[in-house]
Each structure stands twice: as structure tokens, then as C-alpha cells.
């Protein structure tokens, strides 16, 4: 097919509807282009459980082999298992998944050797240019070398599990009852192997691999998709619940009461543990809309927090630049130096099990020390003029007593007892608002005032002496 890649190639990956936006022919070209841009003589490829993943990944492999690269196929895997293979084998990698998107979608997450990210600024734009050139009607196809690369298969699941378990000491934890909702995604493939032999009474939910997602979308960030898990945790009298997204690189946590645990609280908990493991020294990366409890906990435990923009390419770049030991995002992506700076929700989950199992208090009590503020969560507003609405909000809040403003990623206003960030979507006419405050009343007041300005152009803000 002739490629229109404007909607297919995103900032960090390839993602679109199959076969409307892409097919095996394009997948083969992506394989050839990926090999060309990385200069690889060998690559590793994995895929999720979506019906189109085996054929698309196979076509990508043909394209790569056609450029002379030897291909290792690791088959069904989670995205972090692919990152493990890229790191352990020191090979560029490609993961076929559309993460939490509906069944008709598929995509490719690519990395260089050692799981280094491939995004628009690190090779993806060059890959897109080659695919566009090769897919034009009448254009010459990519030339094949005299010797095609080989294609072999390799199972990395056991080695992946062993590596994760070598990074967290679970040898002396008390027995735990854990409900896991895999959402019919790749957690159903990885969890049984990783948890095997642990003192865990595992209660599986939706472990059957099914890329049509018959039970609910594999996106735990949406509260509607963890309703079943929350109810099951309470019904089972479990110690906690875990929910993985479709490609199982993100993990969400539910406490023993069925209440969701903020990813910021998990970031703080894991940061404290990683700092302890490294002698109370190290840098921890967090994006600018994680809770202020994260940098506080990092400092309290001897570490140095570094604030960065939202997005895994920024986190990974800062991880490398600072030699950071850990990084976390509000979206439940968790990054580890000892996992090639890549994100793995499974390793974060193991840290939670270790922390909970090494003491007697319930999870709700354990995480309370890391969950210190009232937060709005992310609120999206459709607007006709993102810059104008942002300017209105800045004018209303930036001059308040004690307030400061920065534009590292959107607009962040910080005052003594509250802060908020307002970011524009790159792909939709949306503004995304996140508010946090010392108490619920202040959070609600700031949230409502900001939303009035965002959603009602021309609205007059409240008094300049409002919450500070």
C-alpha cells in the first residue's frame, strides 16, 4: 500500500489501524528501514497477543533479513521482556504492540541495542522518511545484499524472570494473597513465570491471551477498567491487586480495601527502596506532574530528584545523562538503571510485594506515608485556542503572592500550598490540567477556578488573594 505516515508514526512509536493504515507490506518496509537506520547486523523482535501481531512481526523480520540482519524472534512477550532481550543480547529491538489501544490497532515500539529508545529525535523520523520513499508508487524497493540474514527463534521468558528476581529480595517476605488482572494482555504470559516459587497466593483474572479484549480495555489508567479488580480484591480478602496494561509494561496497584494507589505513591515507595539498595545515594528522575511527595521522599532518603518533561524519551534521556538509579511517571511507567534505563511495571510490582511482605501493616497504611497531598488527577478540556486559554490561566495565577511560573512542559504554577500544570495535547485540541494541594478544599478551589478560565473564555478569575 502507498503509505500515509502522518497519522501512523507517532512521537515515540508506530501505531495505527490494521489494515486501513498499515499492513504487512509496510511492516516489511519498516523492518528494512529500521535495519538501515540503526546499522544493525542483528536484531531481536517480539510481539503481543493481538491477532495481527504474528504476521506483522514476521513481515518486519523479512524486511530486516532482506537488509542482511540476523533476526532473533522471541515470540509472545511483554514490552519489558523485549527490552530485557535488547539489553541482555545487546541488540536493537522491535516490539509489535498497540499497548492499551483497541483490537483493530497495532504498532511497533523500537529501540537500539541496550534498550535505548528510538523516537522522533533518535531515528524514528529517518525510518519514516525511508518507508515513505520506498512505498511511493514506482519507487525502487530497498536493495537486498548478496547474503540475506538468518531468522532464528529464542525463548527469553525464564531469563527475563530470573533477571527481575535478581534485583529484588523476596526471599523472606510473608505470604501474600495477590489478585492480578492481566486484561487478556501479556501479563497473562509473564506473571505465572515471574511469580512461580514466590510465597504468593495468586488469584488470576483474565489471563487468557486475547487481543480482542473481551472483558475490558487493557488500560488500567481508566478507572472503569479496574472495577472488576477492586471488587475481586475485597471479595478474596487479598493483600493487594495488580493490573497490567495490554503489553504489560505498566502496572497499577490496588490496596486491600479495593482503593487505587497513586502511581506517584508507588514511585516514591520504589525510589526509597532503590536509594536504600544503593547506600542512600543516587539520582531519581520524575516528570513534572508526579506528586510533590516524590521529590520530598527522594531527598528524605538521601537522593537527588531531577524533574523532567512528560514522556518516556525525556525520562530515559535524563536517566542516562544523570546516571539515575530510578525514574517514575504519573502514568505508571517505572524506569530502572539496572534494567537498561527501560521501563518495567513488573519490577515495580515486585518492589511493592517486597515492601509489603517485609512488614505486617496493610498496603493502605504502608503507602500513606508516600501519599501526602490532594490531587485532581488529569482533567481534559476541549478548547478552540490552546495558547489563548493558557495565557488566560497564566494571567490569573502567576502574579499571586508566593507563586512562580515555569514552562518546562506546558505551564506550571507553584504556590506555597498548591501547584498545577496545564499542558496542550500535541494531537488533539485539548488542554490537560493536573492540580495538587495540601488539602482537598484548596485543591478543589484551584481546580474549579482554572477550569472556569479554560472552558469559559472571557471568564473573570477569582480574587488575586485566593488560595496561595
Give the C-alpha separation, 254 to 404, whole Å: 35
Q: What backbone torsions phi and psi does residue 11 show, to the nearest 5 degrees? A: -65, -35
Give the C-alpha separation, 16 to 106, whole Å: 6
Nearest to residue 342, comparing CAs of 331, 334, 350?
A: 334
User: CA neighbours within 13 Å on the CB side: how many for 271?
Assistant: 32
Q: Tell me the H-state helices in 178-262.
A: 187-195, 227-236
User: CA neighbours within 13 Å on the CB side: how many for 186?
Assistant: 31
Determine whether 99 is an active site residue: yes
Give the C-alpha separation, 290 to 165, whole Å: 27
What is the DSSP pairing of strand 93-96 with strand 42-47?
Answer: parallel
Question: Cell for 108?
Answer: 511497533
Give the C-alpha separation, 72 to 365, whole Å: 45
Give the C-alpha separation, 418 to 439, whole Å: 9
What is the DSSP pairing of strand 260-261 with strand 240-244?
Answer: unpaired
Give the C-alpha separation, 226 to 98, whole Å: 19
Per the listing, cell 515515540 goes with 12
CB 352 within 8 A of CB 253: yes
Q: How many residues make up the chain in this entry?
A: 468
Question: Cell for 82?
Answer: 523485549
Q: If you write DSSP's letter for every residue of 253-312 in order, what string do you get?
A: EE-TTSPEEPHHHHHHHHHHHHHHHTTT--EEEEETTS-THHHHHHHHTT-EEEEE-SSH
Question: Cell for 285?
Answer: 528522575
Residues linked to residue 432 through DSSP beta bridges, in sequence order: 380, 423
CB 40 within 8 A of CB 63: no
Distance of alpha carbon 83 from the chain centroid: 13
Catalytic residue among 99, 262, 264, 291: 99
Q: Measuring CA to CA, how many Å separate 141 from each of 37, 66, 131?
A: 16, 11, 10
Active site residues: 99
Amino acid at each position: 500500500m502507498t503509505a500515509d505516515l502522518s497519522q501512523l508514526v507517532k512521537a515515540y512509536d508506530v501505531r495505527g489501524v490494521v489494515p486501513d493504515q498499515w499492513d504487512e507490506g509496510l511492516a516489511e518496509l519498516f523492518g528494512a528501514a529500521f535495519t538501515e537506520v540503526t546499522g544493525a547486523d542483528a536484531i531481536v523482535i517480539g510481539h503481543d497477543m493481538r491477532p495481527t501481531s504474528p504476521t506483522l512481526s514476521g513481515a518486519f523480520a523479512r524486511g530486516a533479513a532482506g537488509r542482511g540482519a540476523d533476526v532473533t524472534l522471541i515470540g509472545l512477550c511483554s514490552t519489558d521482556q523485549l527490552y530485557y532481550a535488547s539489553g541482555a543480547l545487546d541488540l536493537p529491538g522491535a516490539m509489535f504492540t498497540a499497548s492499551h489501544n483497541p483490537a483493530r490497532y497495532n504498532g511497533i515500539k523500537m529501540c537500539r541495542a541496550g534498550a535505548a529508545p528510538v523516537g522522533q529525535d533518535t531515528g524514528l523520523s529517518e525510518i519514516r522518511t525511508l518507508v515513505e520513499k520506498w512505498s511511493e508508487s514506482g519507487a525502487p524497493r530497498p536493495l537486498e545484499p548478496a547474503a540475506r540474514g538468518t531468522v532464528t527463534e529464542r525463548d527469553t521468558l525464564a531469563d527475563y524472570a530470573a533477571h527481575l528476581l535478581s534485583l529484588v529480595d523476596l526471599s523472606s517476605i510473608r505470604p501474600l494473597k495477590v489478585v492480578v488482572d492481566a486484561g487478556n494482555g501479556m501479563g497473562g504470559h509473564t506473571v505465572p513465570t515471574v511469580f512461580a516459587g514466590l510465597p504468593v497466593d495468586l488469584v488470576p483474572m483474565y489471563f487468557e491471551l486475547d487481543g480482542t479484549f473481551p472483558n475490558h480495555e487493557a488500560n488500567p489508567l481508566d478507572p472503569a477498567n479496574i472495577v472488576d479488580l477492586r471488587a475481586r480484591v475485597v471479595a478474596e480478602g487479598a493483600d493487594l491487586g495488580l493490573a497490567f496494561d495490554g503489553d504489560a509494561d505498566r502496572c497499577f496497584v490496588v490496596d486491600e480495601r479495593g482503593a487505587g494507589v497513586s502511581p506517584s505513591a508507588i514511585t516514591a515507595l520504589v525510589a526509597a527502596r532503590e536509594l536504600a539498595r544503593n547506600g542512600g545515594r543516587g539520582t531519581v528522575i520524575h516528570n513534572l506532574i508526579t506528586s510533590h511527595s516524590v521529590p520530598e521522599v527522594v531527598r528524605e532518603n538521601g537522593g537527588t530528584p531531577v524533574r523532567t518533561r512528560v514522556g518516556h524519551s525525556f525520562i530515559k534521556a535524563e536517566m542516562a545523562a544523570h546516571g539515575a538509579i530510578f525514574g517514575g511517571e504519573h502514568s505508571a511507567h517505572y524506569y530502572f538503571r539496572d534494567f537498561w534505563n527501560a521501563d518495567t511495571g513488573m519490577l515495580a510490582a515486585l518492589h511493592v510485594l517486597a515492601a509489603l511482605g517485609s512488614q505486617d501493616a496493610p498496603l493502605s497504611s504502608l503507602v500513606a506515608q508516600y501519599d501526602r497531598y490532594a490531587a485532581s488527577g488529569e482533567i481534559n478540556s476541549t478548547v478552540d485556542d490552546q495558547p489563548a486559554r493558557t495565557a488566560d490561566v497564566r494571567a490569573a495565577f502567576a502574579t499571586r503572592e508566593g507563586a512562580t511560573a515555569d514552562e518546562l512542559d506546558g505551564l506550571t504554577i507553584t504556590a506555597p500550598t498548591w501547584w498545577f500544570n496545564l499542558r496542550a495535547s500535541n494531537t488533539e485540541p485539548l488542554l490537560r490540567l493536573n492540580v495538587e494541594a495540601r488539602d482537598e478544599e484548596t485543591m478543589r478551589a484551584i481546580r474549579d477556578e482554572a477550569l472556569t478560565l479554560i472552558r469559559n473564555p472571557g471568564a473573570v478569575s477569582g480574587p488575586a488573594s485566593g488560595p496561595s
